[in-house]
Amino acid sequence: MELSLFNILDVLGTIAFAISGALAAMERRLDIFGVFIIAFVTAIGGGTLRDTLIGYTPVTWMENTIYVYLIGFVTILAIIFRDKINYLKKSLFLFDTIGLGIFTITGVEIGIQNNLAPIITIALGAMTATFGGVIRDILCNEIPVIFRKEIYATACLLGALAFVVLHDLGVERDIIYLVTSIIVIGIRLVVVKYHLVLPYFYIPSENEEKAD
* Residue ranges that bind its own copies, judged by CB under 8 A: 23, 26-27, 29-35, 37, 48, 52-55, 57-59, 61-62, 65, 68-69, 79, 82-83, 86, 89-90, 114, 116-117, 119-120, 123-124, 134, 138-144, 146-147, 149, 151, 153-154, 197-206
What is the rounded CA–CA span in Å between residue 147 and residue 141? 14
With respect to its own copies, which residue has the nearer C-beta, 1 or 69?
69
SS3 letters for the chain?
CHHHHHHHHHHHHHHHHHHHHHHHHHHCCCCHHHHHHHHHHHHHHHHHHHHHHHCCCCCHHHHCCHHHHHHHHHHHHHHHCHHHHHHCCCHHHHHHHHHHHHHHHHHHHHHHHCCCCHHHHHHHHHHHHHHHHHHHHHHCCCCCHHHCCCCHHHHHHHHHHHHHHHHHCCCCHHHHHHHHHHHHHHHHHHHHHCCCCCCCCCCCCCCHHHHC
With respect to its own copies, which residue has the nearer C-beta, 12 or 59?
59
In angstroms, give the least distance from the CB of 136 to its own copies. 12
With respect to its own copies, which residue has the nearer C-beta, 5 or 11?
11
Give the number of other Cβ atoms within 10 Å of residue 112's Cβ.
Answer: 16
Give the number of other Cβ atoms within 10 Å of residue 62's Cβ.
Answer: 13
In angstroms, give the least distance from the CB of 66 to its own copies. 10
With respect to its own copies, which residue has the nearer C-beta, 69 or 194?
69
In angstroms, give the least distance from the CB of 55 to its own copies. 3
In angstroms, give the least distance from the CB of 149 to its own copies. 6
In angstroms, give the least distance from the CB of 130 to its own copies. 9
With respect to its own copies, which residue has the nearer C-beta, 175 or 197?
197
Nearest to 75 by CA among 16, 128, 121, 117: 16
In angstroms, give the least distance from the CB of 164 to its own copies. 13
With respect to its own copies, which residue has the nearer C-beta, 142 or 174?
142
